[in-house]
Structures are given as structure tokens and as C-alpha cells.
Amino acid sequence: MAAPLSVKVEFRGGVELLFDGVKKHQVTLPGQEEPWDIRNLLVWIKNNLLQERTELFIQGDTVRPGILVLINDADWELLGELDYQLQDQDRILFISTLHGG
Amino acid sequence: MAARQEVLALQAEVARREEELSSLKQRLAAALLEEQEPTPERPVQVSPLPSKAALSRDEILRYSRQLVLPELGVHGQLRLATASVLIVGCGGLGCPLAQYLAAAGVGRLGLVDYDVVEMSNLARQVLHGEALAGQAKAFSAAASLRRLNSAVECVPYAQALTPATALDLVRRYDVVADCSDNVPTRYLVNDACVLAGRPLVSASALRFEGQITVYHYDGGPCYRCVFPQPPPAETVTNCADGGVLGVVTGVLGCLQALEVLKIAAGMGPSYSGSLLLFDALRGHFRCIQLRSRKPDCAACGERPTVTDLQDYEAFCGSSATDKCRSLQLLSPAERVSVTYYKRLLDSGAPHLLLDVRPQVEVDICRLPHALHIPLKQLERRDPESLKLLGEAIREGKRDAQEGAADSIYVICKLGNDSQKAVKILQCLTAAQVLDPVTVRDVVGGLMAWAAKIDGTFPQY
Ligand SMILES: [Zn+2]
């Protein structure tokens, strides 16, 4: 049984517009059998923070192309992507790439 | 009486001088372009810059403040003088970037932009002036840079970068700066840089945010390593829709210039393998660590599948411009032109005009008789807004003559959001949340209204 976790979830680069413009969310994830990983976190975000147009954030079981996931300021690719196991007080940032110039 | 006469005399004098000023501006625009060579059919052939053994007396004076920096020094300045930089996009990023590179004494600047200067560019694209509105940005930028530093060779390319021309062009330059404004061009520039073996300094900006990184430098990742798949076209926001503050593109363009200068002078960049995020609202910079080069990358991996340039518009599902896309969600019968709507308005036929733009745009300009409910409120079926709309429809029915059709016309800036709103209103009437009513939208929106019906209506 994994204990509840407190993590900071942030949306930037326009992704926050899917979350009512709110960029920072202090999130408490309830205790559960399995350890929390990014895969579960995405499901939790989909069910608890995202009300509309989920396809603009999630496609399949991962984020849509063009969104970069950063775990404590590092590219999630360096840390196992969906399988990364969340630690208490982690900072997870979802950022959309910008294209304007 | 005397005062009145003076007012009239001054008004006449102001009008005369304004006319004179406008004629001077036209002559200036013509003279500035006179300096240019005619637009070449193919990219100009440029020969490699000769190496340089020493700085002249004038150069020493001009660059003295940077020459005394030990990190740069004479050695670095000589390298800058023989360096060439290709700037893809002469907009909000490209202008400040080119300005600082020219001022610092980079030997040759290639300036790529297919677009022309528009008044809505001037708040952030600081190399272009009022006098050159309507002229090619590549030429306007080159003219401006020549006035700044005549020793720098500026090569304008007033064409889009295409898969047919990109590789040849990129090969002729030492460093490439991506200052473009659309996804297909970003993949095109990346692939050309990987194939030609050139470092790519890439920046972007939107609203109050900016991002900058260096791709394909000294074994670091390329754009495709980080973004193997393009984003869905409907998730990409351009500066016209999302807005952008000129200072934000300015900050990012300057950071880009810094990275280019360090690469060209042999100091090495700071953001290879990392991405700098700038949040102008919070005044916050944050540097994040990117992944390493991916061995399975389609462009720079061990078995690349991108062996020549491809059709990037097809790959991305969007066009290689930042112009607003036109959606086709409705049938022609569900849409009317601005001319049709103007006739209807003049005839006094009962109807409801619904403006679905965000509040910030309604604050800029509006048609006074329109009811305003932002699309966002309709999308989330906001109860307050639906109540307002329901009341407006019932009121319209009371006023209408017996048997007259009840119609809603939906309008927005360009005619995309209005189509989405019609779809939603059709659902709401079908579900009997709203009384039965015919809903259509106005093709081209308020910008078509400004262009075709009312010349005094603001364009933005
Ligand atoms: Zn790559």
C-alpha cells in the first residue's frame, strides 16, 4: 500500500488553457495499492482536473505530441517516461512547445 | 473671429504637411528598395567568406567594447567577421536577432522571409518601419541592417524556405537560426540542418512565454529527438490568435543572438541539450534538461529514415505559414456572407446577432447591436449564458411578426469560432435546451465586415 503523495503539477505554454487558465496545482494523490507513476497521474489528471476536450491533452495512455513532460526540471525521457514512480514533493511540468515568432 | 481664422489656417497647413509627409514616405520606400537587387529567381550564389588575418583601425574602434572581453578578443572578432548565419524568418525573433548580429560584426547574414510587412507587425518586428509596409520583409530587414552596419553582407531571400531549396541554402551558412512561426518550417529547418551538419539555434514565443534551445550541436539532440511527432494541427496557436508581446519576442531574439555569437566566435553555446523557458508575466527564467540524442531518431539517429527533405506540410497536416486556417465545419446553406447580413440588417428583419469572441477582443471593437457570449461559455454550457441566450430568443419571437422565421446569426473575428458556435447551438436546440431557431454564421466574420462593408470598423 503506497502512502498518499503531495505533488506539484504545472501546465505552461498554453496547456493551462485546458485547465481554466490555472497554471499551478498542488495535488494530493490518495494512497493506493500500486505505487503512483506518471501513467496513473495522467488518468488522475484526466478524471480530476481536466473537464473538456481531453484529446487535446491525452492521446491513448500518454500525452499528445507536442507536450513535453518534465519531472523536477528534467525531460521525462531521462527518467522512464510513463513508468517513472512519483516521489512526495515532485514537480511535474507539462509544457506545450510554442511555434510563434 | 481671428481665432477661428487661425484654426482654419492651421488646419490647412497641417493637411498640406501631412500630404507632403506621405509623399516623402513613398519616395523613401522607393529609394530604400532601389538599393536592393531585383528578387532573384533562385537563391543568390554566395561565395565562402575569405579568412581574415587582422582587424582594421576602424574595426578596432567600432568593436572595441567587445574586443576587450578576454573570452572574445581579437581572435573571436575575426571569427565573427568570417562567419555566416542563416536567419529563417524576419519577424519578431528574426529582427532583434539580425540587429545584434549585424551590430556585433558577423560577416554575412542570410535573411529568409516570404512575407510582406504589415502594420500589425510593427509592434514587435523592430527592423521594419512604416515606410516599408507592403514590401518584402527580407528586403526591408536587409535595408535596415545595411544602415546599421554597412560592412555586414546581407543576403535577402524573399521566398519561403521549401524542401527544394532548404538544403542548398543551409549548406552555404555556418550557423542557422530558426525564427519561423509554424510547425512544418521547424521540421524542415531541423532536417536540413541535420543533413547539412549545421548547428540550429531555435526560439519561439507566444503570449507572455518564450522558449529557446540549440539543436544538433556537438552530439546533442535535434528537434526530432525531442519531438518525433508533430502536434495535432488544432492544438497549434499562432500569434494572431493567441497574441504576443513584442518585448517577449525581443528577449528571445536577443538570447538567440547570444547563442549564435558564442557558437560563431568559438565559445560554444549554453543551451545545447537544455531548454530555457521564459515566463514574462512572472519575470522567471527556468532551464530544463533535455534528453540526449536519440539513437533511433528519424533524422539524426543511427539509421535515419529522413535522408532527404520531404513534404512537411503533409507530415504536419498544416501549412507552412502562421496565417489563420479556415475551418469548414458547416454546409454553405448554414452560412451567409457579410453582404447578405448587411442587406438583412438594413431591411430591419428581426434576428439576433451573436458575437462569440472572447471579452478582450470585444473590448477592441464590436457591432453595437450584437449579443455577446464567448464561445468558451457555450462550449461548457454555462447556465448563466444559456439563460441570457434563451431570453434573447424568446424576446425576438415576441417582436417578430406571426410566422416570421426566428434566426440567429453568429459572428466572430474570422469565421472559424462562429462555425463551432453554430454546431453547439444546433445541439442545444435539438436537445430542446433552447427554443427552435435557425442558426447560421457569417463567413469571414468581423474582419470581412471591416474589409467589405464598413471601412471604419477596426481590423486587428
Ligand atoms: Zn534527432
Of A64, A74, A98, the CB nearest to B232: A64
Question: For residue A23, is it within any domain?
Answer: yes
B332-453: CATH, from 3.90.1150.10, 3.40.50.1370, 3.30.70.20, 3.40.250.10: 3.40.250.10
* Residue A64 domain flag: yes
The reply to whether A101 falls in a domain is no
- pLDDT value, residue B402: 56
Q: For chain A, which residues score pLDDT lower than 50?
A: none
User: Given pLDDT bands bounded at 50, 70 and 90, which one contains residue B44?
Assistant: low
A12 interaction partners in chain B (CB closer than 8 Å): 209, 277, 279
Q: What pLDDT shows up at residue B433?
A: 87
Cβ neighbours around B387 below 10 Å, total? 10
pTM score: 0.88
Distance A23 CA to ligand 1 centre (A): 30
Q: Name residues whose C-beta falls within 8 Å of residue B111's C-beta, 6 or more positions apart in sequence.
A: B87, B90, B94, B98, B138, B141, B142, B145, B154, B155, B156, B157
SS3 track for chain A: CECCEEEEEEEECCHHHHHCCCCEEEEEECCECCCCEHHHHHHHHHHHCCCCCHHHCEECCEECCCEEEEECCEEHHHHCHHHCECCCCCEEEEEECCCCC
Residue of chain A with shortest Cα separation from B213: A97
Cα of A97 to nearest chain B Cα, Å? 8
Residue-wise pLDDT tens digits, B259-303:
999 999 999 999 999 999 999 999 999 999 999 999 999 999 999
Instruction: List chain A residues with CB under 8 Å of B181.
Output: 99-101
Q: Identify the pLDDT of residue B313.
A: 93
List all residues 6 or more positions away from B355 whose beta carbon is below 8 Å from its beta carbon. B362, B366, B367, B370, B371, B372, B373, B411, B412, B446
CB B144 within 8 A of CB B61: no
B412 has catalytic annotation: yes
> What pLDDT, on the 0 to 100 scale, is given for residue A53?
83
Mutation for testing the A interface, residue in B235, B249, B281 having most A CBs under 10 Å? B235
Q: What are the extents of the domains in chain B?
A: 83-316, 332-453
In the structure grid, which three cell numbers stand for residue B114, read together?
516570404
Q: What is the mean predicted confidence (pLDDT) over B345-366?
A: 95
Nearest-CA distance B109 → chain A (Å): 18
User: Searching chain A, which residue's CA lies closest to the CA of residue B376?
Assistant: A20
Compare B300 and B24 and report the one with higher pLDDT.
Answer: B300
Q: Where in the sequence is the domain holding A50, given as residue range(s)?
A: 5-96
The answer to whether residue B41 scores a pLDDT higher than 50 is: no
Name residues 7-46 of chain A within 8 A of B (Cβ). Answer: 12-14
Q: Which of A31-35, B41-45, B195-199 has the highest mean pLDDT?
A: B195-199
pLDDT digits (tens, 9 = 90+) for B121-150: 999 999 999 999 999 999 999 999 999 999
Q: Which residues in A lie closer than 8 A to residue B92 (C-beta atoms)?
A: 100-101
A-B C-beta contacts closer than 8 Å: 105
Number of folded domains in chain A?
1
Rounded to the nearest integer, the mean pLDDT of chain B is: 92
In a domain, A87, yes or no: yes
Q: Does B209 lie at the interface with A, CB-CB under 8 angstroms?
A: yes
- How far does the centroid of ligand 1 lie from the alpha carbon of residue A50, in Å? 32
Asked whether residue A36 is assigned to any structural domain, the reply reads: yes
| Domain covering B83-316 in this structure, CATH number | 3.40.50.720
- The grid coordinates of residue B163 equal 524542401
Chain B touched by A60 (CB under 8 Å)? no
- The verdict on whether residue B123 carries a ligand-binding annotation is yes
> What is the tens place of the pLDDT at every residue in B208-223?
999 999 999 999 999 9
In a domain? residue A11: yes
Q: How sure is the predictor about B400, in pLDDT bands with cuts at 50, 70 and 90?
A: low
- Residue B43: pLDDT band (50, 70, 90) is low
- Residue A35: inside a domain: yes
- A51, B249: Cβ pair inside 8 Å? no
User: Which residue out of B95, B154, B239, B316 is catalytically annotated?
Assistant: B239
Question: Do the domain assignments include residue A30?
Answer: yes
Q: Do A96 and B182 touch (CB under 8 A)?
A: no
Q: What is the pLDDT of residues B236-253, one digit of tens each?
A: 888 888 899 999 999 999
Q: Which of A51, A94, A97 to mutate to test the interface with B (most CBs of B within 10 A)?
A: A97
- Angstroms from A33 CA to nearest CA on chain B: 31
Predicted ipTM of the assembly: 0.94
Task: Judge whether A99 is closer than 8 Å to chain B, CB to CB.
Answer: yes
The chain B residue lying nearest A70, using CA atoms, is B288
Q: What CATH number does the domain containing A85 carry?
A: 3.10.20.30
Chain centre to alpha carbon of residue B126: 13
Nearest CA in chain A to B96: A101
Radius of gyration of the CA atoms of chain B, in A: 27
> Scanning every residue of chain B, which has its alpha carbon at the shortest distance from the alpha carbon of A72?
B288
pLDDT for B377: 94
Q: Is B324 annotated as a binding residue?
A: no
Residue B327's pLDDT band, with cuts at 50, 70 and 90, is: confident
| A101 with B92: Cβ contact below 8 A | yes
